[in-house]
Amino acid sequence: MPQGRASRLGLRTDLGGDDPQPRMQNLLAPCVHQREVDRRMRRMPTVRFGRETSLLVLELRQEGGRGIHINMEGRGDQAQFELGATFDLPPFSPTDPEAAEQLAAAIADQPPGALLLALPREESVLRRLELPTTESDELPTVARFRLLQEAQLDEAGAAVDCLPIQTHEATTTAIVVGANGTIMAFGNALATASGRKLAGVSLRVLGLPDLLDTPGSAPTLAIDLTRGPSLAIVVDGVVHRVGAASDDLEDVERETIRLVSAWRMTEDSPVEEIVVSGQQELADHLVGRLRSALGLSVHSVVAPLDTDLGEDVDHPSGTPWGLVGLGRAHLLSHERIDLQHPRVPEDRAAPLKRRGVLLAGVILVLFGWIWSSGNKEVRQLQAQIDLLRAELSQQTQAEGEALRNLFRYRHAVEWLSVDPDFVSELQAISDVVPDDGQAVMGSWRGFLAFDGVVYDNKASNKEKWKSPYQLRFVMTGETKDRTVADAIRAALVEGDRYRIETTGAETAKGKRLPRAFTYELGREGGP
């Protein structure tokens, strides 16, 4: 490589603050995964990345996305990446039956390679969740159940994948991503229409870890300034928290400050470094603003050292490094979120199925031997059948125990979901009491009436499990006159938030004001 080009591909060491040699020596160096992840998580059965060496990475945005071709030479530490020119994609709608054909036509002239898709924000959900399990075979099921509870996803067709980042005594912290079946079906239709293999489906922001050189565990904030900026806090090569902003640099600056501040309030280790990628003039401008606002080490990158932009290839609006990171993770077989090949729970019934097939085969052999062999052979085969039946019974019992354990877990989840916010209830009740001296609160008591979890086998899937409860409150106070007391009572029942089960006593001669009152309130609740 010519000397001038080699220098053009290096880091901008003039943007490294007090450190003349930034720790970011290679934007696309291999990442290190979370060390605290339990070893059982690493054995999770899954179908992951292929052996492609050429990818066409597309960001699907309804208003018009972008794409880039990535080619890899070599493997592991010797890998070198060549990027093609960034190209624009036309607007599309995943529900338009002609959209897949139109996008396929738009990429028809691109170099050969499998498709790797980055979903739009409006078609996907990302959460950092605390899941009540440490078992690898339970994690996919639990993650899917929790995400479908919290997000507006189509339960039947949704694709959900998770990546564990840390285990605790009884829980696992994981990044969980989901998407509706409509956009997943569109991705498969696009692959079919273009005649390309669909290698994987993910989110652009999840490609940022593979743009960082993170030898330690210090949190780093990565910012991708290309169209629809994305932000991610990365620890040990894994995304722990994400943010999004508009194309306005001031909005990016505000979102950066918010992410850094929120992280500092909840985590032990603060963000130590910020890395900005994108169109160079914009990146340099943002670097200066962030360095002044936060006082952190902030760097901007021209291009990674192991990446060749190719001869006469121009990226006028900045290389989409988030897409490059996704492509790099796939080509190097790094463990990442992939909605096309999500983690699946271990098939507990597989041994049962295999033994069932074996039993059937033995029975067929038995009939053949009955006609050709004596009683001795028949007795031997019968003994084998009895043994297999005993083992089959044991497997059936194990499967039943697994189902019972899943039932117990669902019951526990529903039980723990009953967690009323008494502080907000107190605030809602207090808000109806006038603060002009005409009324004062005496006491307030709250009670939770919960009879346990109800399971209705005849209901739909979302309605089978119910945990109804009642909240009861008793409030006392004093008012200047009965008119004020009646106004408080009317305000309490307005909007059907509460019902007055008994108005209690309204007596004269309160200690502070002339008239005392007691109201007993009730409210239906449910998770």
Q: Which of 180, 506, 146 is nearest to 339 (CA)?
A: 180
Listed range (3-12, 79-88, 362-371) with the worst mean pLDDT? 3-12
pLDDT of residue 37: 40
Q: 């069932």: which residue's tokens?
A: 356
Decide if 205 contacts 239 (C-beta within 8 A): yes
pLDDT of residue 466: 77
Q: Which of 4, 3, 2, 9 is nearest to 308 (CA)?
A: 9
Mean pLDDT of the chain: 76
Contacts of 492 (CB under 8 A, 6+ apart): 429, 432, 498, 500, 519, 521
Between CA 486 and CA 280 the distance in angstroms is: 67
User: Tens digit of pLDDT for each residue in 223-275?
Assistant: 988 888 889 998 888 889 898 888 888 899 999 999 999 898 888 888 988 88
pLDDT of residue 192: 94
* pTM for this prediction: 0.58
User: Tens digit of pLDDT for each residue in 24-79?
Assistant: 333 333 333 333 343 334 333 333 334 688 999 999 988 888 899 999 888 777 88
Between CA 72 and CA 61 the distance in angstroms is: 26
pLDDT of residue 146: 87
User: Tens digit of pLDDT for each residue in 141-189?
Assistant: 888 888 888 887 877 788 999 999 888 888 899 999 999 889 999 999 9
User: Tens digit of pLDDT for each residue in 341-389?
Assistant: 998 876 555 555 556 656 666 665 555 555 555 566 666 777 777 777 7
DSSP state string for 228-257: S-EEEEEETTEEEEEEE--S-HHHHHHHHH
pLDDT tier for residue 317 given thresholds of 50, 70 and 90: low
Is beta strand 273-277 parallel, antiparallel or unpaired with respect to 220-224?
Answer: parallel
pLDDT of residue 27: 32
pLDDT of residue 407: 72
The pLDDT > 70 percentage for the chain reads: 75
Could you tell me how many residues make up the chain? 527
DSSP state string for 464-519: SEE--EEEEEEEEEEESSHHHHHHHHHHHHGGGS-EEEE---EEE--SSSSEEEEE
pLDDT of residue 141: 87
Decide if 74 contacts 17 (C-beta within 8 A): no
User: Tens digit of pLDDT for each residue in 440-462?
Assistant: 887 878 777 776 777 777 777 66
pLDDT of residue 6: 32
pLDDT tier for residue 284 given thresholds of 50, 70 and 90: confident
Q: Which residue has the higher pLDDT, 22 or 500?
A: 500
Please give the average per-residue pLDDT across 407-412, as a whole number.
72
User: 64-69: which pairs have CB atoms within 8 A and are 24 or more residues apart?
Assistant: 64/88, 64/89, 64/90, 64/91, 65/89, 65/118, 65/120, 66/226, 66/227, 66/320, 66/323, 67/107, 67/110, 67/323, 68/319, 68/320, 68/323, 68/324, 68/327, 69/110, 69/111, 69/113
pLDDT of residue 309: 63
